[in-house]
Chain A
Amino acid sequence: MDAIIECENITHYYGTTLIYENLNFEVRQGKILGLLGKNGTGKTTIINILNGYLKPRSGICRIFGEKMENLTPGVKSRIGLLLEGHIQHTYFNVQQIERYYSRFFPNWKKEAYYELLKKLKVSPTQKINTMSCGQRSQVALGLLFAQDPELLIMDDFSMGLDPGYRRLFVEYLKEFAADGTKTIFLTSHIIQDMELLIDDCIIMDYGKILLHQPTSHIIENFRRFRFSADRDSMAPDERFWHTERIGNTWETYSFATLEEVTSILSGQGAHDIREEKLSLEDAFIGLTGKY
């Protein structure tokens, strides 16, 4: 499989605040990759860098082998871009915006757009700026499906959507990517939705990537362990994430097995060690911390 997106040694600052240092990752063809991180970890920043709307301090990103600041029209036509908040040209009405975009893309699928909009109960002459956030999201998604791009880049697709529209969005995206030829790179701050969708996951922390793994690997192997211990602190161990005491109980997160964890923690006086399976959202909190 080819790498559709490649980022090498991206370093970026806002003023003197470090956003990333030597960030490296790639997205391979046919994968749905989710970029997860707390607010301010630079999720939108990386989308802007990827699309050539932000020049990083150093490093390079390539999409379909082309440098981000000089994407040719040919490559741009292969990329569908969803901006944070489902931003579109809201002065158009439903029909006008379809007519506007249709001229730019040779494989335009008008029926895909109208198929999706049929569910919205909006008239063809309704202006987009009179629609709800959920309806606007469907217009934006319909336009992307009509474009039928090889790569979809979506910045915080769940922003402002109620659970129904979020679920609808995810289901359509899954269907869109079903044949395995489409590549999707997306960010979202609602991680429940991502669990249903993404193959791979990058978890960002301030300034770096914490983890880049298949989602299934995280769900199957990352666990929370609760235990009791009559101590005020536990010895740091790189196999444990965010060990903390809550009341009389301790909790920690780890990729280690229950046997390994028991063997490590017993030496520190821990007892009643219990293993808990995690959702992706819980795993995210375990990896990044609550604060």
Chain B
Amino acid sequence: MYQSIIYKEWIKTGKLVILASVIFVGVIMYSFISVKQILRLNGSVNIWEAVIMKDLPLLSTLKWLPVLVAILLALAQFVPEMQNKRLKLTLHLPLPETLIMITMLGFGIAVLLFIYAVTYVVLLPGLGIWFAPEIVQLSFYASLPWFISGLLAYTLTTWICLEPVWRQRIINIAVSIACLSLFFVGTRSGGYNSFIPYLFGFTILSMLFPFYSVSRFKEGVQ
């Protein structure tokens, strides 16, 4: 039965997931081409120096992509559920409502984790061809908040979509923008390192927010 819910989520989001994957592949290729080009034009020594001494970012093209894809995925999954209150049909299925929601959220999070993980698996060893492991590690930590923010953007967008009252939705949007902006404070690479566990913890906690929206939906709050 849970496979059926996953099937439904795939029908809603399949085209978007494929498009997002293509975009990520494009951005990864662009990142490689771009790095190779600056190395060719400026020489490895100068670029290594710029990365180490002047904090030249290597993965800045990826900055907004995880958040953007996460928001679109959440919208594709949950806007159709709220149109004409179709969520009533979903919650009427003969399964525990909490498990239905966990399956739907789990699908979205699994898709994002898969795309993000594949991106890292390709990108980081690729950078290792031209840069020392320490520089690759630095790039990983510099980009990690962007990917964690993608997961947070997904749960917050779900929280907003499932909220039944527009006035409360607007408050949720404001809170979400404030939360997400924490992940994009301008700082030097590694500036977030000590903060990452807290960001990750908050992201895990935020997975409960959509359940609050569903409980309001169930109560018929207007």
A-side interface residues toward B, CB under 8 Å?
Answer: 14, 48, 51-55, 69, 73-74, 76-77, 79, 81, 83, 85, 87-92, 96, 99-101, 103-105
Contact = CB atoms under 8 A, between A and B. Distances in A.
A14 B8 CA distance: 34
Contacts, number: 69
Contact of B88 (A55, A83, A92): A83
Contacts of A90: 80
B93 interface: yes
B85 A83 contact: yes
Contacts of A73: 93-96
Contacts of A81: 88-89, 92
A73 to B, nearest CB: 4
Interface in B54-90: 80, 84-86, 88-89
Interface size class on chain B is 20 to 34
A16 to B, nearest CB: 13
Interface string B108-127: 00000000000000000000
A266 to B, nearest CB: 52
Contacts of A87: 84-86, 89
A55 B94 contact: no
A87 B85 CA distance: 8
Contact of B220 (A54, A101, A105): A54
Given A92-B8, A99-B7, A103-B3, 19 more contacts: A53-B217, A54-B219, A54-B220, A55-B218, A55-B219, A55-B220, A73-B96, A76-B94, A81-B89, A83-B88, A87-B85, A89-B8, A90-B80, A91-B11, A99-B4, A103-B1, A103-B4, A104-B1, A104-B95
Contacts of B8: 89, 92, 100
